[in-house]
Amino acid sequence: MNQAQPIALDTSRALNLYDLTQPELVELMKRWGQPAFRAKQVWTQLYRNLAPSFDAMTDLPAALRERLKAEAQLGVLQLTREQTADDGDTRKVLWQLPDGNVLESVLMLYPDRATICISTQSGCAMGCVFCATGRMGLLRNLTPGQIVEQVLYFARGLRNNTFDATSRHDHITNLVFMGMGEPFANYERWWASVERLHDPQGFNLGARNLTVSTVGLVPGIRRLANEKLPINLAISLHAPNDELRSALMPVNKKYPIAELMAATREYIELTHRRVSFEYVLLQGQNDEVEHAEQLADLIQGMLCHVNLIPWNPVLGAPLQRSHRKRIQQFQQVLLERGIGCTVRMERGVAIAAACGQLAAVPQST
């Protein structure tokens, strides 16, 4: 498999330490005349202690802290806006990158878990008609550090109880790469962030607590099947036949359903892991009983689960969410065919933080 290219250590400008791997951090310390163990100390401060500043890294010599302040930085994302909904259990953050482009990420608190939804790109090139992010087009890929930085912000807030004094959670339990962008279209950088967040010597988030969502980029699915970390895979399907799926998701013209299903079956055979199929329900378009029957025929016998998602409103989109009765009928067809199926709980709709709504545009208060 191809290896991610190392990040050049350009000491003429401030480095984002979150972009460095451990070996790169060791090399930086070596160039600065520091012993190798200093790199481990910095790594621990970044990912275990969640240090908010270089001054907080009190186990480092003062001279090293000063040099870090002069030549490096802890992240580059500028928090532009923060909104809450669902009695504070949903929190959306709007970030601005140094080049002016924007992205969003979301924290969702449940009784049994604290889940964050993270972006891997600013904007998205996939153009799904029901998704607000797709209307932005692709603005840029995020670096590993910019992906990780979103996670550390929420982790620090939970640990320090700065979000909600009544929260029952003090750490992130689950992470989904379902924010802005297509992770497999930024595979190298996205996977580098996965390794960073999973690292037992660092952030130490279990692979089973990580989920990546794709619109169905077949090469990415096949590549993921051969990765060592057993993270979860969710595939945005949203239609059971090529004609309908191509109308909703342009990617289907390049990777039609037969090819997508073949790659998914190969993935399951290689990994023995269950795949989740995401299915947004649109009134009168993909929510008929016949569509449910076609979907059941398509995935019957696969190790899979279906997440039905009532469409969340997107400004200007000529679509409607399915009526509750249609959703129930659709679910019942799948259950009667022996296919595991749940309806996703709605969260963050009031602040455009729900599935498909992220567009990095400040909302009116």
* Among 77, 200, 212, 182, residue whose Cα is nearest residue 120: 182
Q: What is the CA radius of gyration of the chain?
A: 21
Which one from 82, 104, 288, 304 is the annotated catalytic residue? Answer: 104
Rounded Cα distance, 280 and 307, in Å:
8
Residue type, 66: E
The pairing of beta strand 304-310 with beta strand 275-281: parallel
Q: Are strands 72-73 and 232-236 parallel, antiparallel or unpaired?
A: unpaired
| CA gap 222, 187 in Å, rounded | 12
Locate 328 and state its tokens: 């129930």
Alpha-carbon distance of 56 to 39, in angstroms, equals 16
- Here the tokens at position 31 are 């160039």
Pairwise CA distance, residues 300 & 338, whole Å: 8
Q: Is 355 in the active site?
A: yes
User: For tokens 């003429």, what's the residue?
Assistant: 12
Single out the catalytic residue among 117, 124, 131, 355. 355
Nearest to 215 by CA among 284, 277, 262, 139: 277
- Angle CA 313–139–10, to nearest 5: 140
128 carries an active-site annotation: no
Handedness of CA 89, 94, 95, 101 (dihedral sign): positive
Q: Which residue numbers are catalytic? A: 104, 355
